[in-house]
Amino acid sequence: MLTPAIQMQTALDLIQEVDRAARPADAIVSAFFRTHRKMEDADRGAIFGLLQDMLRHRARLGWWLARHGRSDTPRNRLLVWLTLGQGRGPDQIHRLFNGRKFAPEALSQNEHSLLIKLQGVALIHRDMPDEVRLECPDWALAPLQARFGDGFEAEMTAMLTPPTLGLRVNTLKATRKDMLRELANLGLSPEPSEVAPNGIRIRKRLSLTRLPALKSGALEVQDEGSQLVAGLVDAQPGDRVADFCAGAGGKTLAIAAQMQGKGLVVACDINQGRLKRCTERLRKAGAHNAQTQVLTSETDKWIKRRKGSFDRVLVDAPCSGTGTWRRNPDARWRPEEEQGLESLIALQARILASAARLVKPGGRLVYATCSLLPEENEGQIETFLAKTPGFKVVPLPQIAPDLRSCHEAYLSLTPAQHDTDGFFAAVLQRDLPEVKETPEDAE
């Protein structure tokens, strides 16, 4: 185990790396821990937890620094968090920031005076504007207030709590009962998911390297919301299924398992690297009924050649990711989320229109996002239905009568209501061709 001071410097190194990079924090964290292979689980957990806390409270910490005329640097933010978030006094912080080998540089006079000013102060201040107090980026404030109305504050607060770890049992390799027993034997207090039939929740913070079943492919990390979306595809053994925006295959794997290895699921994406990862995961999971297809764009010729040939098509569209802020607290502050909403909405519409061509008559199209914004969700479905004759909504209660949703016709999950990531899914069915009555039928 590292000394507390060395652990603090290591956390600061990671926080600085995340701050400098334009990439999502989870990619930087994985790369960081790969270069610190020998680090013990307890140190990893503490360092990762500190990073997540700092990302979750980023706007509030920045606000305090601006109020005291200090620059918004990772080191300054950390000092404010240790004081206001963890309630540590200047003496304790001096012992950590002691300037010894591998420990943080000793505190300057200026830093010391900041700690003194912040003593005994609460993290939330009445002068904080809503977007700072609730850690909501400016661009998302009005749309999310409109979406949630009176529930806005509760949703934003829920998004500031650490998520549980969601696991899905790969039924091609194991049963939930066995996995619950195995995880309990590891002392992890697993809970069966109440909503996802193959889901397990773990509330304890842990290093994933502790789970051998992840290595063997018997378990996959997957939020319950994602598991429900894959379940709504309702793929049957023997079906032909296209997972249009498959990425690294999170939902492809769940769908392939639902099909008990029979039939075909094609994982499509424009990102070759993600599909390569998908192939590796499919192999590990023992899913032999799946293949990948790289697309040049959402209108790739492959689609035209296979139009009307799939029983099920899932479009897990690229989106603002507003539903995943609890899990990825840095996502809300990434500039592309701010600038890209309009172009994302246009892309989603193009993907939906093109993927719909793959659905056979009588087959189903499932459109899903991890967004909480109506324009990416029900708005997108309304536009599609207005432009595309021959598709009808299959209302959620008809397919999953026991699922509690915030929308009467679609699946709509939110962190405050369901304790999952925010998810949306709509199920549409393509009409069967009308059978013309022959004179004999009429008789």
Ligand X SMILES: C[S@@+](CC[C@H](N)C(=O)[O-])C[C@H]1O[C@@H](n2cnc3c(N)ncnc32)[C@H](O)[C@@H]1O
The answer to whether 217 contacts ligand X (rule: CB under 6 A) is no
Output the DSSP codes for 178-191: HHHHHHHHTT---E
Assess 425 for contact with ligand X (CB under 6 A): no
**Cβ neighbours of residue 140 under 8 Å, at least 6 residues apart?**
320, 322, 332, 337, 373
Give the nearest residue (CB) to ligand X.
250
Q: Does 247 bind ligand X (CB under 6 A)?
A: yes
CB of 273 to ligand X, least distance (A): 9
How far apart CA 5 and CA 428 sit, in angstroms, is 56
Catalytic residue among 136, 245, 268, 370: 370
Backbone angles phi, psi at 405, to 5 degrees: -130, 155
How far is Cα 316 from Cα 369, in angstroms, rounded to an integer? 6
Nearer to ligand X, 90 or 217 (CB): 217
Choices 152-160, 267-275, 285-293, 304-312; region in contact with ligand X by CB under 6 A: 267-275
241 within 8 A of 254, measured Cβ to Cβ:
no
> Which residue type occupies 93?
I
**Which is closer to ligand X, CB of 15 or CB of 242?**
242
Q: Which of 56, 70, 240, 251 binds ligand X (CB under 6 A)?
A: 251
Q: In the annotation, is 406 catalytic?
A: no
**Closer to ligand X at the Cβ: 239 or 298?**
298
Provide, rounded to whole angstroms, the least separation between the CB of residue 438 and ligand X: 43
Residue 318 near residue 271, CB atoms below 8 Å:
no
- What is the nearest approach in angstroms of ligand X to the Cβ of residue 439? 47
Residue 83 or 414: which CB sits closer to ligand X?
414
Q: How far is the CB of 336 from ligand X (least distance, A)?
A: 13
CB closer to ligand X out of 53 and 376:
376
Choose which of 175, 297, 339, 343 interacts with ligand X (CB under 6 A). 297
Give the DSSP H/E element, type plus range, for residue 242.
Answer: strand 240-243
**Alpha helices (H) in 287-430, listed in sequence order:** 301-305, 335-339, 341-356, 378-387, 396-399, 415-418
Backbone angles phi, psi at 268, to 5 degrees: -110, 150
- Interaction with ligand X in 119-138: which residues (CB under 6 A)? none
Where helices occur in 35-151 by DSSP H, the ranges are 41-56, 58-67, 74-80, 90-96, 109-118, 130-133, 138-148
306-345: contacts with ligand X (CB under 6 A): 316, 318
Q: With binding defined as CB under 6 A, does residue 294 bind ligand X? A: no
Please tell me whether residue 270 binds ligand X under the rule CB under 6 A. yes
What's the rounded Cα separation, in Å, for the pair 441 and 252? 43
372 binds ligand X (CB under 6 A): no
Nearer to ligand X, 195 or 352 (CB): 352
* Least distance to ligand X, CB of residue 309, Å: 18
Instruction: By CB under 6 A, tell whether 269 contacts ligand X.
Output: yes
Burial 31-70 (b: 16+ CB within 10 A, else e): ebbeeeeebeeebbebbbebbbbbbbbbbbbbbbbeeeeb
Residue 26 counted as an annotated binding residue: no
**What does residue 288 show for φ and ψ, rounded to 5 degrees?**
-95, -5
Which residues of this chain interact with ligand X, rule CB under 6 A? 226, 244-248, 250-251, 269-271, 274, 295, 297-298, 316, 318, 351
Active site residues: 370
Binding residues for S-adenosyl-L-methionine: 269, 316
